[in-house]
Amino acid sequence: MPVYGIKIARPGFNADDPNIAGKDLSFSSLHSTPKLYRCISFTAIGDTSHGLDYSPAFFVTFKTTASSMTPDPLVDQYICTSFSTTAGSILITAPLIEVDDTYVKCVSIGDASIVYVTLAIDPIDE
Amino acid sequence: MSKYGIRIVKPGINKDVMEAEPKEMAVSGDYDSFKIAFAGKLDLTVPEHTWYCNASYPVSPGPNDYDSNNTFNWVPNYWESTFYHGLGYVPMYNPGVYWDSLNGTYAREIPNDDDPEYTVVNYLPGLYQPQCGPWGLTPFYIFYIGVTADSNYLRLRAHEFVDMTIDCALDANDYNTYAEVKLRVYYTIFYNRADEEFNLL
C-alpha cells in the first residue's frame, strides 16, 4: 500500500532534502502531533468524565491565589506545566491533578483559584 | 456546509483514515494542535545587594534594611523581566516555573556552555545559590524564581526571603551581601489558549 503524508520545511530549509532533520520541519506527519481535544476547569476538588476509555495525556495551567507574602510575586499569575503537580514551593502549593481511564480528578486545589486541564486524545502511556 | 480536514494515520497502522481511532492518527484536523507563537530567551539580572542589621551601619542602608520587627523579611520589590506577547488571553507556554532554593537542590552548579554568565532557569533545580541555609542556621535565606504568564506578558521574576534574627542578635552591626545573579529562561509561548474550556469530542 502506498504511503502518503505531509512534510513542510521551516523557512530556509528544503523539504525535498532526504536528509532534512525533524527539527527543521514546521510540520511532518511522520511525527505524531499532540491532538488536544478538551479543556476542563476545576475550582475545587472533584472529578469529570473525560469521555475516553484510556488515560489521556494532559497539561495543567493554574491561576495563583494570594500568598501571605508581601509583596507577592505570584498573585493572579498563571503557571503552565506538563506536570500533575510540583508542590513544594514556600510561596505556593500547586494543585494535584490525576487521570485514569474514566476521569480527570482534581485531588487537591492547592493555592489555585482555578485549574485548567487541557487533554490530548493521545494516551499518556504510549 | 461540507466539512473538510486532514487525517493521517501513524506509521504501522494499516487502516483507512476514516476508520482509524483518534489515538491511531499522527495528525487529525478534528482536534487542536500546538501552534508556536513565540520562542526566545528572557534575561534577568539580580544585582549584588546587602541586608543590614543596623540602619546606620556601615553605610546608608538603602532599601534592603533588615527589619527586626518581622520574623521573615522579603525585599521590598521583586526583580522582574517581561516579554510582551500581547495575545490578550493567557496562552499555554513552557516552562512554567515556581522554584525556591528551600526545596531545590542548591549544592551544584549547572554549567551553561551557551553563555556561562547566566544561570538557565530551564535547568532548575540545579541552581547554585550561595548562602542558602536550612531552618535553624543563619542567615536564613530563600531565593525564589518564577516564570508565569498573564494575558499580555510572560514574566521571569526573582524574589528573596531573609531572616537575620540570630545574626543580628549576635552582632547588631552585622550585614550580609548577596552576589549578583544573572538568570535566563528559554521560553516557548503557544497560540493555544490556556484559560478557556472547550470540547471537540
Q: Name the minimum distance, in Å, from the CA of B115 to any CA of chain A.
A: 23
Are B27 and B84 in a shared domain? Answer: no
Q: What are the pLDDT tens digits along chain A (126 aa)?
A: 567 788 899 889 998 998 999 889 888 888 888 999 999 999 999 999 999 999 999 999 999 887 656 667 677 889 887 655 544 566 677 888 999 999 999 998 888 899 999 999 999 887
What residues make up the domain containing B27? 1-31
A40 touches chain B (CB under 8 A): yes
The alpha-carbon gap from A45 to the nearest alpha carbon of chain B, in Å, equals 17
Name every chain B residue with its beta carbon within 8 A of the beta carbon of A66: none
Residues B141/B166, Cβ–Cβ less than 8 Å: no
Residue A23: partners with Cβ closer than 8 Å, 6 or more residues away? none
| B1 and B78 together in one domain | no
pLDDT value of position A118: 95
Q: Is residue B97 part of a domain?
A: yes
Instruction: Please measure the distance between the N-terminal and C-terminal CA atoms of chain B and give it in whole angstroms.
Output: 19
- Mean pLDDT of all residues in B162-189: 80
Instruction: Give how far Cα B4 sits from Cα of A5, B7, B85, B91, Å.
Output: 17, 10, 31, 27
Average pLDDT rounded to a whole number, residues B180-188: 89
Which CATH number is correct for A36-123, 3.30.465, 1.10.3470, 1.10.3720, 2.60.40? 2.60.40
Tell me, yes or no, whether B114 lies in a domain: yes
Yes or no, beta carbons of A3 and B32 under 8 Å apart: no
Are residues B16 and B93 both part of a single domain? no
Q: Give a yes or no: residue B104 inside a domain.
A: yes
- pLDDT for B61 equals 40
- Spans of all domains in chain A: 1-31, 36-123
Same-domain status, B162 and B94: yes
- Over residues B55-77, mean pLDDT: 48
Whether B9 and B80 share a structural domain:
no
Identity of the residue numbered A107: V
A13 has a chain B CB within 8 A of its CB = no
Chain B's closest residue to A119, CA to CA, is B199
Residues B3 and B51 in one domain: no
In a domain, B201, yes or no: no
Q: What pLDDT is attached to residue B75?
A: 57
Q: Output the pLDDT for position A44.
A: 96
Q: What is the pLDDT of residues B116-170, one digit of tens each?
A: 678 787 776 544 444 444 444 455 667 788 899 999 999 998 887 776 777 777 7
Specify whether B24 is located in the same domain as B49. Answer: no
Which residue in chain A is spatially nearest to B79 when comparing CA positions? A73
Q: CB contact, 8 Å: A89 with chain B?
A: yes
Check whether residue B122 and residue B55 sit in a common domain. yes
Out of A37, A79, A123, closest to residue B148 by CB: A79
- Interface predicted TM-score of the whole assembly (ipTM), two decimals: 0.86
Domain count, chain B: 2
Do B73 and B23 share a domain, yes or no? Answer: no
Q: Are residues B93 and B17 in the same domain?
A: no
- Please name the residues between 45 and 84 in chain A that touch chain B, using a CB distance below 8 Å: 51, 54, 59, 61, 63-64, 69-71, 73-74, 76-82
Half-sphere exposure of B184 toward its Cβ, with a 13 Å CA cutoff? Answer: 14
Asked whether residue B18 falls in the same domain as residue B41, the answer is no
